[in-house]
């Protein structure tokens, strides 16, 4: 397939058609750039998050987990700098009443178009009338307490990271870890983005997968390199093609207020190269700020050496929705098979929402009963589906479109000799397997090393 055959429109259409992700509040006309995840979307995004947890927790012994509250003390956002500095410069168009990010306009960000003349960027259409740029804070504000007027102001967290810093002391006490060690968290964050868009790439409510790695100050530069390499590699281990990924180091003018070095893992989305994840050297900024604002000592005391220091922090910060979109885009393929176009998601088996579908060839002669028996034997071990209705071709197409790596077909021969065919999604090869050995066969194939068939 030519590279540009994967378009955002095709991904959006597939996600809606197969119930992965769809516009939220549709029966009320929708609410801009807000999405709901359906069954397969939930399974896929959960697998993405589980793979992240696996790489952070199960495959290492220097990181612990945390799940902090979304609502935090408002002083947290003063200390972190978000109240004063988490702003984007915004520009309004007096003609079309749309709002744009001034930096996106300046860099001519992909996908930005004048709503009245989409062939032109905003500001360059014949009727465009842009205001000067003004700063706009991206935090969602709410009130805590029963009466809005007297309640206290609170903010929905714009990143999960601060929940980790404010718990540094707690975690240090119970985890029996010493630097270098990390605290990992997955959860919702909220930003009142001026220009959300490009499906789930940029939304106002999204999930982050963040890990703060606390290190002795002189080790920070080396750990920064380690985490850049590890995070770059993670996407490839899960099947993303290397030519679609790059690491881009930020220039000095681009760095966040807390960062001394940042690199983005970028993916070549259908909208162009865009950030997938950021890896930052945050230095001692956050712990120092929270110590100052809270009055608590946030440092590490090494008893054997008597050394006391504020650890520096290396932070890989990824987005679960954005990563899900990248995995979908990278897996999307169209092929002509026996004269028919098939759309297929060539997802890594560990990410695939459903691992196996059991399909009786016809709805008679004992085939549905045998299919149900096999389905019951498989579903406790792997996400499985039983699909009894419609032509076998249509059922295969459906499973291809949701990325199911294996389809097990029960046919006439199955009833005679208790064997079934196992069809592989990518190669379309079919193998006859004894029904009683099916579970072991599938477990072995699903856990075997996997390489994207889209790789040259």
Output the smallest distance, CB 160 to ligand GAP, in A. 7
Nearest CB to ligand GAP, comparing residues 18 and 191: 191
Task: Supply 218's token pair.
Answer: 């002189």
Nearest CB to ligand GAP, comparing residues 51 and 277: 277
Output the smallest distance, CB 209 to ligand GAP, in A. 8
Only one of the segments 39-47, 204-212, 342-350, 434-442 lies at the binding site for ligand GAP (rule: CB under 6 A); that segment is: 204-212
365 touches ligand GAP (CB under 6 A): no
Output the smallest distance, CB 367 to ligand GAP, in A. 45
Longest CA–CA separation in the chain, Å: 78
202 touches ligand GAP (CB under 6 A): yes
Output the smallest distance, CB 413 to ligand GAP, in A. 49
Output the smallest distance, CB 314 to ligand GAP, in A. 12
268 touches ligand GAP (CB under 6 A): no
Chain centroid to Cα 335, Å, comes to 27
35 touches ligand GAP (CB under 6 A): no
- CB-based contact 117:126 (threshold 8 Å): yes
Output the smallest distance, CB 311 to ligand GAP, in A. 17
Phi, psi (degrees; rounded to nearest 5) at 444: -65, -45
Q: Say which residues have a Cβ less than 8 Å from residue 168's Cβ, sequence separation at least 6.
A: 183, 214, 287, 290, 298
Q: Give, in degrees to the nearest 5, the angle at Cα 347 between 418 and 267.
A: 175
Residue of closest CB approach to ligand GAP: 319
Nearest CB to ligand GAP, comparing residues 314 and 435: 314
21 touches ligand GAP (CB under 6 A): no
Strands 272-283 and 261-269: antiparallel
Nearest CB to ligand GAP, comparing residues 128 and 325: 325
In eight-state DSSP terms, residue 120 is S
Return d(Cα 283, Cα 217) in angstroms, integer: 8
Q: Concatenate the DSSP letters of all residues of 386-441 into one string.
A: E--SS-HHHHHHHHHHHT-SEEEEE-HHHHHHSEEEEEETTT--EEEEEGGGHHHH
Nearest CB to ligand GAP, comparing residues 210 and 385: 210
3-state secondary structure of 325: helix
Q: State which of residues 37, 77, 168, 206 lies at the interface with ligand GAP (CB under 6 A).
A: 206
Nearest CB to ligand GAP, comparing residues 321 and 411: 321
Return d(Cα 247, Cα 35) in angstroms, integer: 29
Nearest CB to ligand GAP, comparing residues 316 and 405: 316
Output the smallest distance, CB 323 to ligand GAP, in A. 7
274 touches ligand GAP (CB under 6 A): no
- CB-based contact 421:360 (threshold 8 Å): no
Q: Which of residues 140-179 bind ligand GAP (CB under 6 A)?
A: 159, 161
Q: Say which residues have a Cβ less than 8 Å from residue 94's Cβ, sequence separation at least 6.
A: 129, 130, 131
Q: State which of residues 49, 82, 231, 322 lies at the interface with ligand GAP (CB under 6 A).
A: 322
Q: Concatenate the DSSP letters of all residues of 20-82 into one string.
A: SEEETTGGGT--TT-EEE-HHHHHHHHHHHHHHHIIIIIT-SSEEE----SB--HHHHHHHSH
317 touches ligand GAP (CB under 6 A): yes
Looking up tokens 């994840």 gives 277
Only one of the segments 234-242, 272-280, 340-348, 431-439 lies at the binding site for ligand GAP (rule: CB under 6 A); that segment is: 272-280
Count how many Cα atoms sit within 13 Å of the Cα of residue 25 in the half-sphere of its side chain.
7
210 touches ligand GAP (CB under 6 A): yes
318 touches ligand GAP (CB under 6 A): yes
63 touches ligand GAP (CB under 6 A): no
319 touches ligand GAP (CB under 6 A): yes
Q: State which of residues 51, 321, 330, 411 lies at the interface with ligand GAP (CB under 6 A).
A: 321
Nearest CB to ligand GAP, comparing residues 80 and 409: 80
3-state secondary structure of 86: coil
Return d(Cα 445, Cα 355) in angstroms, integer: 11
Give the residues lining the site for ligand GAP (CB under 6 A): 159, 161, 191, 193, 202-203, 206, 208, 210, 275-278, 315, 317-319, 321-322
């Amino acid at each position: 397939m030519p590279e540009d055959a994967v378009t955002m429109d095709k991904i959006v259409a597939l996600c809606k058609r197969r119930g992965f992700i769809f516009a939220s509040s549709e029966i009320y006309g929708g609410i801009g750039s807000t999405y709901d995840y359906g069954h397969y979307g939930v399974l896929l995004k959960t697998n993405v998050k589980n793979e992240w947890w696996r790489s952070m927790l199960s495959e290492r012994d220097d990181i612990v987990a945390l799940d902090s509250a979304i609502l935090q003390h408002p002083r947290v956002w003063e200390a972190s700098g978000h109240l004063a500095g988490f702003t984007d410069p915004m520009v309004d168009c007096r003609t079309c009443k749309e709002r744009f990010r001034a930096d996106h306009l300046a860099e001519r960000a992909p996908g930005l178009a004048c709503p009245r003349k989409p062939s032109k960027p905003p500001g360059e259409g014949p009727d465009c009338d842009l205001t000067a740029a003004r700063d706009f804070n991206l935090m969602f504000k709410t009130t805590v307490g029963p009466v809005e007027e007297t309640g206290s102001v609170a903010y929905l967290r714009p990143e999960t990271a601060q929940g980790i810093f404010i718990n540094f002391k707690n975690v240090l006490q119970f985890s029996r870890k010493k630097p270098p060690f990390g605290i990992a968290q997955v959860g919702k964050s909220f930003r009142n983005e001026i220009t959300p868009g490009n499906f789930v790439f940029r939304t106002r409510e999204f999930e982050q997968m963040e890990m703060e790695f606390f290190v002795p100050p002189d080790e920070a530069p080396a750990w920064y390199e380690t985490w850049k390499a590890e995070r770059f590699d993670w996407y490839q281990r899960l099947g993303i093609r290397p030519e679609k990924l790059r690491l881009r180091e930020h220039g000095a003018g681009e760095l966040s207020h807390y960062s001394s070095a940042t690199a983005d893992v970028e993916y070549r989305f259908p909208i162009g190269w865009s950030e997938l994840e950021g890896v930052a050297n945050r230095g001692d900024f956050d712990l120092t700020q929270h110590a100052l604002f809270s009055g608590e000592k946030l440092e590490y005391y090494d008893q054997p050496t008597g050394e006391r220091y504020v650890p520096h922090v290396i932070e890989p910060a990824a987005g679960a929705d954005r990563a899900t979109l990248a995995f979908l885009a990278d897996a999307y393929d169209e092929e002509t098979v026996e004269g028919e176009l098939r759309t297929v998601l060539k997802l890594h088996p560990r990410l695939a929402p459903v691992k196996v579908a059991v399909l009786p060839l016809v709805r008679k002669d004992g085939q549905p009963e045998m299919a149900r028996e096999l389905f019951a034997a498989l579903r406790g071990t792997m996400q499985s589906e039983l699909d009894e209705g419609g032509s076998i071709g249509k059922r295969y197409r459906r499973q291809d479109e949701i990325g199911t790596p294996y389809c097990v077909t029960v046919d006439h021969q199955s009833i005679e000799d208790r064997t079934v065919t196992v069809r592989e999604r990518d190669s379309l090869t079919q193998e006859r397997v004894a029904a009683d050995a099916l579970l072991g066969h599938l477990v072995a194939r699903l856990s075997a090393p996997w390489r994207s068939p889209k790789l040259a």
